[in-house]
Amino acid sequence: MSNAVADLYAFMDGKSKFTQVDLFEAFGKRAETEIMGALNVLVKDRRIKLLQTESGEVEFEIVAEDKARAFKGLGQDHMLVLQEVGKVERKGIYKKQLKRVTGLPQAQLTRILKTLESRKLVKPVKTIASKTMNLYVLYDVAPAREHTGGPWYTDQEFDLELVSMVSQWMLMQIAKGTRGTDDLQSMTTVLQNTKIVNVELGTDDLKQILDKLIFEGKIEKRSDNDGDLEDIHVRWKLAPPVRSHNYLDQTPCGVCPVRQDCHPGGVISPTTCKYMDEWLGSEGLLF
């Protein structure tokens, strides 16, 4: 290893990125000659990746040694595929889209993806929208929730048992009716501390359950909430039960003992029924 490369490694220690300005500040005129040569060596060895900031400035990103080993021996086509997968970040990209943007033949693209997977540079992701087609994301990138369904999905299947369990637990917390147990923020904190479920649930996740309980008419806002609170601090209470009614029993016809003999134009008729008049508050029915 040349002295310039060793000096550049020492300069990079503890950093994740640096710029040309940083190099000139650290090495002075050496940055134009020896250090620039060492920089090219590390770029070739995949230990440094060139980036461009929004302002157009060139930036150098330091690549971990194990990641650099994964890049060793990869050709331009491999790097092209890796670049396209990296562009979409968490959104992911289908193989059909990769084929279109890279212009690579299907068979070659398949081999490249297998190589990148084996080196843990990319990973396939099954989505809740399609169980047969994989999206590809960079290996250390978590795919977007729109693809995985978040914590409410297990192996692309909706986890009804988990949703029911968390719903019942939230109802129990709200039923206590004490401050610190009946708002979204406190329920999230308590749930995370108690570890009653084996998945990580955040405020946004519990907000989905809260919206479900509101829609089902099981909870409502407390009247003693303080002014205009953020949603996470609004206190909730159990909604009064909705009583079911048999509206047929509330009409005169529902309890009339001669209703089977009642028909228009008959001796017993809706048009002459005084009980119907009383119930409707009318003096008679007109048909």
Q: What is the pLDDT of residues 178-190, one digit of tens each?
A: 777 788 888 999 8
> Residue 59 — pLDDT band, cuts 50, 70, 90?
very high
What percentage of the chain has pLDDT greater than the value 90? Answer: 37
Q: Of 26-35, 253-262, 268-277, which one has max mean pLDDT?
A: 26-35
Continuous segment of H or E residues that includes residue 160: helix 160-176
Mean pLDDT of 243-253: 62
pLDDT of residue 200 exceeding 80, the answer is yes
| Sequence-ordered list of residues with C-beta below 8 angstroms from that of 70, at least 6 positions apart, any chain | 119, 120, 121
For residue 123, what are its two tokens?
A: 């990973």
- Residue 182 contacts residue 172 (beta carbons within 8 Å): no
- Rounded distance between C-alpha atoms, residue 61 and residue 283, angstroms: 89
pLDDT (tens digit per residue) in 86-145: 999 889 999 999 999 999 999 999 999 999 999 999 999 888 877 778 899 999 888 888
Q: Which domains does the chain have, with CATH numbers?
A: 3-70 (1.10.10.580), 74-147 (1.10.10.10), 153-238 (1.10.10.10), 248-280 (no CATH)
Is it the case that residue 249 has pLDDT exceeding 70? no
What local confidence, expressed as pLDDT, does residue 274 receive? 78
Does the pLDDT of residue 287 top 50, yes or no?
Answer: no
CB-CB neighbours of 23 under 10 Å: 19
The pLDDT of residue 275 is 76
Which pTM does this prediction carry? Answer: 0.56
pLDDT of residue 247: 54
What local confidence, expressed as pLDDT, does residue 120 receive?
92
Cβ of 138: how many Cβ atoms within 10 Å?
Answer: 19
pLDDT averaged over every residue in the chain: 85
Q: How far apart are the first and last CA of the chain?
A: 105
CB atoms within 10 A of CB 125: 17
- Per DSSP, the three-state class of 220 is strand
Between 251 and 168, name the one with better pLDDT: 168
pLDDT at residue number 115? 95
